[in-house]
Structure 1
Amino acid sequence: MSRATPMAPEERRQAIIDATLPLLLARGTEMSTREIAQAAGIAEGTIFRAFETKQDLIHATIHTALMPDAAITRIAQLPEGQALNDRVAAILDVLREEIHRTRSLFAHFARPSGQPAAGPPTRPPFGGIRPPFNPHETKTRLNTAVAAALQPYSGELAVSTAFATNLLSALAFASSFTLTEDEPTISSEELSDVVLHGIAKGDS
């Protein structure tokens, strides 16, 4: 009977991070390393061979959760040969979902465990731990992926791919807010049509 191949150090770190995130969202920083070890299916001491402290693990978990890797992969895997309207709508879909995901994570992370949904926090978020997060890095990586996805269509655009990328990013962000609860949701297809053809009807 052959033994399972041991995980490489980076794979082990990632497995621990993956097990930590649900606990962090549910329990906040009050979760114990014993709970993390049980969730990851490892000995508690293994955590401290991958991370120096529990705080280091929390830092790494928050940082990984806020990174846009999945969104970047989705953009890179958009099918070739899409019509420009479809490509822009697909990009907007990914950007809007990423904004929603990130905002939801911030709402979880910034609310200390046991804190009611309403009212100001009574103690520092993250258990007083300041997570490492560079929004400029995240935006740059996403914009690079979007620009690459638009590059094959540069001949159909009246502006540079860089300008189009910034426009789609701003539009995705702006459309993630609603002024009233009964305001209808605008689809990415509708936004794509507005971006490419304007707000006027027909040739007017």
Structure 2
Amino acid sequence: MKGVRVTTGQVARAAGIAEGTIFRVFADRDELLDAVMAEAMRHDHAVREISSVSLDQPPADRLAEAADALGAHLGRMGTVAGALQESGHRRQRGEEGRRPPAGAREASMAAIREALAELFAPESEQLRISGEQAAALFLGLLFHRPQQLGAVALDTSDLVAVFLHGALAEDGAR
């Protein structure tokens, strides 16, 4: 991504459309770039991915698949935001239409949490807490996990295992 150095002509060529088509939708290049960021931040794709996880899989596999979907979503957001920031683009905040709606982040997290809660449904009778609470805890663990613990990376399967079974290995086995 070329960030703010990208021209509307380059965007149009990449999209396979006439440049004039862009200006039927966007007033200028900054509005287009704001829309790119807004699209990257949408949670719909992550919710669809989580909702498509088969409940027939073991819980660890379901949660690992959901964690990967969320990781991909966060990665897309970070890539777009980083490219725009690095290039000097500043999201327009002056016009009401360009601000995220009030409560948008909370609504996004609620939708993701609800989709995750459904993954706990098959084991609902075995849970110590509600599926919604388990989903909230799992999200907290995902969003706050360090990428590296010392020299050892914490991968998704380790994170899911600790979430489901605790930090202590059964019978001292590792």
- After TM superposition, the score normalised by the length of structure 2 is 0.79
Question: Do the aligned partners of 2:84 and 2:90 also contact (CA within 8 Å) in 1?
Answer: no
* Residue of structure 2 equivalent to 1:129: 92
Question: Do the aligned partners of 1:51 and 1:57 also contact (CA within 8 Å) in 2?
Answer: yes
Distance 1:99 1:178, change over 3 A: farther
Q: Is 1:202 aligned to residue 165 of structure 2? A: no
Question: Do the aligned partners of 2:47 and 2:115 also contact (CA within 8 Å) in 1?
Answer: yes
Q: Give, in whole Å, the separation in 2 of the partners of 1:100 and 1:39.
A: 22
Q: Give, in whole Å, the separation in 1 of the partners of 2:84 and 2:2.
A: 10
Structure 2 residues not aligned, in runs of 5+ = none
Q: Give, in whole Å, the separation in 1 of the partners of 2:144 and 2:9.
A: 42
- Aligned-pair distance for 1:146? 1.1
Q: Give, in whole Å, the separation in 2 of the partners of 1:108 and 1:70.
A: 21
Q: Give, in whole Å, the separation in 2 of the partners of 1:100 and 1:33.
A: 25
Q: Give, in whole Å, the separation in 1 of the partners of 2:70 and 2:146.
A: 10
Q: How many residues align?
A: 165
1:97-128: CA deviations, max 9, x gaps? 3333333332222212xxxxxxxxxxxx3146
Q: Give, in whole Å, the separation in 2 of the partners of 1:105 and 1:128.
A: 12
Superposed CA RMSD: 2.4
Question: Do the aligned partners of 2:147 and 2:153 also contact (CA within 8 Å) in 1?
Answer: no
Q: Give, in whole Å, the separation in 2 of the partners of 1:37 and 1:105.
A: 18
Distance 1:44 1:107, change over 3 A: closer
Question: Do the aligned partners of 1:72 and 1:142 also contact (CA within 8 Å) in 2?
Answer: yes
Question: Do the aligned partners of 1:154 and 1:161 also contact (CA within 8 Å) in 2?
Answer: yes
Q: Secondary structure at the match of 2:55?
A: coil
- Aligned-pair distance for 1:169? 0.6
